[in-house]
Structure 1
């Protein structure tokens, strides 16, 4: 399973990476077809944010801790300090780990949006639990 990642290098520059999350087949019910599931990763808290309509751009910023950002509706264009840009539509998720450095820029679609932020204190760098 692929995951878009925003991270910062030691020199403070932010970049994108496509991370492959390993999965295994899991059946949750005898009548259900098994589906791909990742391992469990430790999370410290969850926040649900409502981004108001008309909030078009959030200036360069970092995140306080690594988080998995799950976009329920709307879309966003992220830009990293190396000049790369990526479009993230509703239903996608991004691992945002640029906790230092120049950060990233967010350009939101005009409608209100709901986003879930799941804090992953170790990002995906730690072995899953």
Structure 2
């Protein structure tokens, strides 16, 4: 399963990467085709955030700990410190791990949005 990642290098610059969250087939319900399911990741808290209509841009910022964001509605454009931009649509999730450095910029649509933030203090611990 693909996931956009925002991370910082030791020099404080933020970057994007496409990462792959490994999945396995799991029979979740009897008589139903198995689902693709990722590993379980330890989470310290879950927050549901309502971003009000008209909030266009959030200035440069970092996150206090790795966060998996799940966009329920509304798009956002992210920008890294080196000027690269990515458009993220509703239904997408982004692993935000730039806990130090210059951070990233968020540009929101004019409509209100709802985002689930899942704090992953240890990150997703992906295979190398």
Same-fold status (TM-score > 0.5) = yes
Gaps of 5+ in 1: none
Q: 2:45 is matched with which residue? A: 45
Q: How many pairs were matched up? A: 127
Give the distance between the partners of 1:119 and 1:35, measured in 2 at CA: 24
How far apart are the structure 1 equivalents of 2:7 and 2:89?
20
Q: CA deviation at 1:61?
A: 0.3
Which structure 2 residues correspond to residues 5-44 of structure 1 after superposition, within 5 A?
5-44=5-44
**Which residue matches 1:3?**
3
Residue 118 (str. 1) matches residue 118 (str. 2): yes
Q: Deviations over 1:35-90 (max 9, x none)?
A: 11001000000010000000000000000110000000001000000111000000
CA distance in 2: counterparts of 1:126 and 1:82, whole angstroms: 25
- CA distance in 2 between counterparts of 1:122 and 1:32 reads 33
Structure 1 position 30, deviation (Å) = 1.4
TM-score (norm 2): 0.97
Query: Does 2:86 correspond to 1:90?
Result: no
Q: What is the deviation of 1:126?
A: 6.5
* 1:126–1:4 distance in 2 versus 1, CA, 3 Å: closer
Contact 2:21 2:126 in 1 (8 A): no
